Chains A and B, each alone.
Chain A
Amino acid sequence: MSLALCGAGTSGQNVEPSTNAVLQQLKKLSLEELMELKVATVYAASKREQKTTEAPASVSIVTSDDIQKFGHRTLADVLRSVRGFYVTYDRSYSYIGVRGVSRPGDYGGRVLVLINGHRLNDPIYNEAFNGGEFPLDMDLVDRVEVVRGPGHSLYGDNAFLAVINVVPKTGAQVNGWEASTTAASYDTYSGRLSYGTRTKAGLEFLLSGTFLDSGGHDRLHYSEFADVNNGVAEHLDGETVKQLFAALSYHDFSLSGFFGERHKDVPTAEYEAVFNQGPNFNRDQRWGLEAKFERDLGDDWHLLSRLFLDRYEYRGAGPYESEDPADPWVLNRDLEETWFWGAEAEVSRTFFNHHQLALGVDFRHDPEVRQRNWDYYDPVVLNVDAQSPTHEVGVYLQDEFAVRTNLTLSAAVRYDYFSSFGSTVNPRAGVIYQPVRDTTLKFLYAQAFRSPNAYERDYTIAGYVGNPRLQPERNQSYELIWEQAVGRHWRTSASLFLHDMTDFITPVQDDLGNFTFANLDAVRSRGAEVEVEGRWARGLSTRFSYTFADVQERSPVTGPGTPANSPRHLAKAALSIPLYQEKIFASLELQGLSSRLTVQDDEMPGFVTANLTLFSRELIKNLEISASLYNVFDRRYRDPVAGDFRQPAIEQDGRTFRVKLTYRF
């Protein structure tokens, strides 16, 4: 159910086609049962559930209904539709850009991605998974909460520019068996089987598995490699994804686990590999288990605690030039393995009806953070074997003080200790004022950091030197937000933002010509965003958003300038129309980015892409059918990529399709 869409919480309440079904269920409950029912809310902004207008942040929510109607395949697709966000793909990974900030070669550590509050960013690259490597099937997502600005005071590391919390469906929502299959361009096929239930006794259970295999492009042309096979990489774009998700809950106690493995062939010969030569692949495996206990302790006390065990493993392989004329190439392998576990506890209490106070502690231990790289010689030559075990502790205190019914002050402060670089304290403050019912004004200040990751600190190999003395990056962020409901159907929001970031960890060449990382650049993103959203009965909805982001980079090496991959203008439009009752919908999305610079300072022109999805449900009982065309007008465009590529930018897919069938039984 969509809370973002009811925005101001007052009007324009979202009309899910299932409203009727939900109400028929609700009416069967007694008053007493109704009073025990938790309602849908946004969790990620304050680590407790609240209305979006009351959240001390600019929040967008994408619901499962949106995901189905617009044919979003991955979290990256979802984020492309969200105001202020863009995603760059280099045919290995997808990178999340926020308000003009997504420097090629920087990993995703400036956005925190959570699955139901469980941290996904890994200890080595801090990567914010959002493509096929994101471990949850989009069909299992109940909603995606996107919280702009630093969420550091609650979540710690990586909650630097945004926090994205993906909330899975519950067993009761799936309620039975579900089988789904897709076929898409480039020999892409997938299958999913899920089972979910809730017993009368209150035991809730969900299990789901997904498998996807994509042949990818048979031929990809890169003119930079014209001397090899005429610049064509053949059969090097395949992808395989395996995902499992399980959740079990009983009253206050829940257990859940996720697993995701993705194998992606690399056609681009990144990192100076031999072109048009396999094997060249990345394989990421990520899993996590957690036990959670949440309880009302009486007297307005509330306890939330969590224990987790996680693993991330990366395997990479690539062919490299050999000096021996008898051997055209030699295989180089990467293996990074991490184990980490930790615990969190938070107690909160409402005092005098006005103060919602929360005190939290979290702890994480990464006993194994190991990076290895070797060459397949006889004997094998080990180039890298670095261990970077770390631990960290965070303590935070948050108070939301309702001064009046329409005025809330929110303040939080967090202390962190990292074994790798020491301690840091970061505050946050906000004022939320509702002068009249349909109007909400928010002023927010927050400070955040991103810690240097194990790769930046410890990976040393010929040509690259790690820097263990790196300090965290910092962000001072200010945002002024005006949210306005207009009549029953419209909701608007406008904001001004300033993210003042310093000590950006930037690759530089040292005196010996080796690449290393240093806290160098300052990056300032300032701009404005507007969004207009309309919702009517029977599922008719529309949304427009525009972001202007002026991003300036000040580098002591290269001087001031505009950073690479930073579009000044981002515009999006979405329209979903019920064509026949509430059974067939046509949904159109337009996404436009203005021009971006490459790392080499060449300009990549801006573009607009259009995606169209026809979605039907219950036309045939229990069957959902959808057919999507992505990039309908076959627009050719390129995404700027890291300096480790010979190509300054990588061409993206033209027009592609997907058809999908889902059957419930």
Chain B
Amino acid sequence: MSRHAPVLLPEETPTRVPRRTALAKLVGFALRLVVALTFLSELTATAAPSPTEYQVKATFLFHFTHFVEWPARAFAATNAPLTIGLLGTDPFGEALDSAVAGETVNGHKLVVKRLASTNELAGCHLLFLGSAEPAFVDSVLDAVKSLPLLTVSETDRFCQHGGMIRLYMADNKVKFDANRNAAVQAGLRMSSKMLNLPSVKLIESERP
């Protein structure tokens, strides 16, 4: 910021120094930069994504379909799709659709279905509830109790209420709790590879 004050005394008048042309400066600068960067380029590159919360959570849902075994009766046919149902507001946008696009699990094509109510649950294998009020969670869990349906939510104490997997954020990382017995009761088998991870907390239902 300049604050030239008017100056009243006369003296020498320096002349303007001609500037180098833009092109000459650009070329000179680029050359110096190339030399500097070349020294530093020997490291090998590996790509790393910069994901959003729900891109990561969508990936978790995708993985869960691989780490959980559904009973054969859950599928109408051996090549029937494995359906992920979203109940309530959809926080994923396109992320979940992208995550499952073109994927199959044991011959079952992965598809996403957005549900208006629990009445549309037929044919779903994984139910994602988002976060919801405890009373609503209880009513949904009661409604799906006998179905071979993997229930996943972000609601606090979801597993204590009888839900199977709760996704949550800790230090901006996505973690999860699991309720193995709730899965067993629904005829699902959660892989020990998933349950034995160090940061996974195993939780029992506190509700009959």
B37 close to A172 (CB less than 8 A): no
- For residue A487, give the distance in angstroms from its CB to the closest CB of chain B: 9
Please report which residues of chain A, range 168-217, place their CB below 8 angstroms from some CB of chain B when the two chains form the complex: 170, 172-173, 175-177, 187, 189-191, 193, 195, 197-200, 203, 205, 207, 209, 211, 213, 215
B7 cross-chain contacts in A, Cβ below 8 A:
320-322, 330, 332, 375, 381, 383, 462
Nearest opposing residue in chain A for B17, CB measure: A279
A92 cross-chain contacts in B, Cβ below 8 A:
1-2
B interface, over-half SS: loop
CB contact between B5 and one of A2, A6, A11, A464 (< 8 Å): that residue: A464
Please report the C-alpha to C-alpha distance between residue A535 and residue B53 in the assembled complex, in whole angstroms.
17
Please report the C-alpha to C-alpha distance between residue A279 and residue B17 in the assembled complex, in whole angstroms.
9
Q: Which one of A26-34, A549-557, A625-633, A650-658 is at the interface? A: A26-34
Contact digits for B163-197, partner A, Cβ 8 Å, 1 yes 0 no: 00000010111111000000000000000001001
Contact digits for A1-44, partner B, Cβ 8 Å, 1 yes 0 no: 11100100111111100011111011101011011111111000
Q: Which one of A153-161, A265-273, A594-602 is at the interface? A: A265-273
> Is B91 among interface residues, defined by CB-CB distance under 8 A?
yes
Contact digits for B7-26, partner A, Cβ 8 Å, 1 yes 0 no: 11111111010010011011
B51 close to A22 (CB less than 8 A): yes
Residues of A within 8 A of B (CB-CB), count: 113
Nearest opposing residue in chain B for A127, CB measure: B1
> Is A331 among interface residues, defined by CB-CB distance under 8 A?
yes
B33 close to A10 (CB less than 8 A): no
Nearest opposing residue in chain A for B42, CB measure: A197
B50 close to A170 (CB less than 8 A): yes
> Is B41 among interface residues, defined by CB-CB distance under 8 A?
yes
Please report the C-alpha to C-alpha distance between residue A591 and residue B54 in the assembled complex, in whole angstroms.
32
CB contact between A302 and one of B22, B130, B171 (< 8 Å): that residue: B171
B22 close to A187 (CB less than 8 A): yes
Nearest opposing residue in chain B for A281, CB measure: B2
B41 cross-chain contacts in A, Cβ below 8 A:
177, 195, 197
> Is B88 among interface residues, defined by CB-CB distance under 8 A?
yes
B172 cross-chain contacts in A, Cβ below 8 A:
38-39, 41, 49-50
B52 close to A11 (CB less than 8 A): no
A31 close to B26 (CB less than 8 A): no
Nearest opposing residue in chain A for B55, CB measure: A22
CB contact between B16 and one of A14, A190, A271, A278 (< 8 Å): that residue: A278
Please report the C-alpha to C-alpha distance between residue A326 and residue B10 in the assembled complex, in whole angstroms.
8
Nearest opposing residue in chain A for B95, CB measure: A19
Please report the C-alpha to C-alpha distance between residue A327 and residue B26 in the assembled complex, in whole angstroms.
36
A26 close to B5 (CB less than 8 A): no
B26 close to A213 (CB less than 8 A): yes
Contact digits for A398-413, partner B, Cβ 8 Å, 1 yes 0 no: 0000000100000000
Q: Which one of B60-68, B117-125, B141-149 is at the interface? A: B60-68
> Is A376 among interface residues, defined by CB-CB distance under 8 A?
yes
A282 with B90, Cβ < 8 A, contacts A215-B22, A320-B7 known: no
A6 close to B16 (CB less than 8 A): no
B94 close to A537 (CB less than 8 A): yes
Contact digits for B31-52, partner A, Cβ 8 Å, 1 yes 0 no: 0011011001101111111111
Please report which residues of chain A, range 38-71, place their CB below 8 angstroms from some CB of chain B when the two chains form the complex: 38-41, 49-51
B36 cross-chain contacts in A, Cβ below 8 A:
207, 209
> Is B59 among interface residues, defined by CB-CB distance under 8 A?
yes
Nearest opposing residue in chain A for B63, CB measure: A31
> Is A443 among interface residues, defined by CB-CB distance under 8 A?
no
B40 close to A211 (CB less than 8 A): no
A270 close to B2 (CB less than 8 A): yes
Nearest opposing residue in chain B for A39, CB measure: B53
- List the count of A-B residue pairs having beta carbons below 8 Å apart: 285
A23 with B174, Cβ < 8 A, contacts A11-B90, A13-B52, A462-B6 known: no
A189 close to B14 (CB less than 8 A): no
Nearest opposing residue in chain A for B11, CB measure: A377
A23 cross-chain contacts in B, Cβ below 8 A:
55, 58-59, 95, 98-99
> Is A123 among interface residues, defined by CB-CB distance under 8 A?
no
Please report the C-alpha to C-alpha distance between residue A127 and residue B1 in the assembled complex, in whole angstroms.
9
> Is A145 among interface residues, defined by CB-CB distance under 8 A?
no
- For residue B168, give the distance in angstroms from its CB to the closest CB of chain A: 10
Please report the C-alpha to C-alpha distance between residue A20 and residue B49 in the assembled complex, in whole angstroms.
11
B59 close to A29 (CB less than 8 A): yes
> Is A437 among interface residues, defined by CB-CB distance under 8 A?
yes
> Is B89 among interface residues, defined by CB-CB distance under 8 A?
yes
CB contact between A34 and one of B2, B8, B52, B60 (< 8 Å): that residue: B60
A195 close to B40 (CB less than 8 A): yes
A193 close to B37 (CB less than 8 A): yes
A198 close to B45 (CB less than 8 A): yes
A34 close to B98 (CB less than 8 A): no
A13 close to B95 (CB less than 8 A): yes
A9 cross-chain contacts in B, Cβ below 8 A:
53, 91
Please report the C-alpha to C-alpha distance between residue A323 and residue B48 in the assembled complex, in whole angstroms.
66
A6 with B54, Cβ < 8 A, contacts A35-B175, A320-B7, A405-B131 known: yes
B3 close to A334 (CB less than 8 A): yes
A3 cross-chain contacts in B, Cβ below 8 A:
52
CB contact between A378 and one of B11, B58, B132 (< 8 Å): that residue: B11
CB contact between B174 and one of A35, A191, A488 (< 8 Å): that residue: A35
A332 with B9, Cβ < 8 A, contacts A170-B50, A187-B22 known: no
> Is A363 among interface residues, defined by CB-CB distance under 8 A?
no
Please report the C-alpha to C-alpha distance between residue A464 and residue B92 in the assembled complex, in whole angstroms.
59
> Is B30 among interface residues, defined by CB-CB distance under 8 A?
yes
B2 close to A334 (CB less than 8 A): yes
Nearest opposing residue in chain A for B22, CB measure: A213
A199 close to B43 (CB less than 8 A): yes
> Is A329 among interface residues, defined by CB-CB distance under 8 A?
yes
B48 close to A172 (CB less than 8 A): yes
Please report the C-alpha to C-alpha distance between residue A402 and residue B143 in the assembled complex, in whole angstroms.
30
A663 cross-chain contacts in B, Cβ below 8 A:
none
A6 cross-chain contacts in B, Cβ below 8 A:
52, 54, 91, 93
Nearest opposing residue in chain B for A375, CB measure: B7
- For residue A539, give the distance in angstroms from its CB to the closest CB of chain B: 10
A191 close to B56 (CB less than 8 A): no
- For residue B152, give the distance in angstroms from its CB to the closest CB of chain A: 14
A327 close to B2 (CB less than 8 A): no
A330 close to B156 (CB less than 8 A): no
> Is B199 among interface residues, defined by CB-CB distance under 8 A?
yes
Please report the C-alpha to C-alpha distance between residue A173 and residue B5 in the assembled complex, in whole angstroms.
48
A13 close to B173 (CB less than 8 A): no
A142 cross-chain contacts in B, Cβ below 8 A:
50
B93 close to A488 (CB less than 8 A): yes
Residues of B within 8 A of A (CB): 1-14, 16, 19, 22-23, 25-26, 29-30, 33-34, 36-37, 40-41, 43-56, 58-60, 62-63, 67, 88-95, 98-99, 101, 130-132, 155-156, 169, 171-176, 194, 197-199
A-B complex: 5 closest residue pairs judged by Cβ atoms: A324-B10, A13-B93, A316-B2, A172-B48, A377-B11
Known pairs A19-B95, A34-B59, A314-B1; list 7 more (Cβ under 8 Å).
Answer: A23-B99, A31-B194, A191-B26, A316-B1, A324-B10, A330-B12, A332-B4
Q: List 24 A-B contacts (CB under 8 A).
A: A1-B50, A11-B89, A11-B93, A14-B93, A22-B55, A23-B59, A31-B67, A34-B63, A35-B173, A37-B174, A38-B171, A41-B53, A172-B48, A175-B45, A189-B26, A198-B46, A205-B43, A207-B37, A213-B25, A314-B1, A322-B9, A377-B11, A455-B1, A485-B89
Residues of A within 8 A of B (CB): 1-3, 6, 9-15, 19-23, 25-27, 29, 31-32, 34-41, 49-51, 92-93, 107, 124-125, 127, 142, 170, 172-173, 175-177, 187, 189-191, 193, 195, 197-200, 203, 205, 207, 209, 211, 213, 215, 238, 240, 242, 266, 270-273, 278-279, 282, 296, 302, 314, 316, 318, 320-324, 326-332, 334, 373, 375-378, 381, 383, 405, 437-438, 455, 459, 461-464, 485, 488, 535, 537, 644
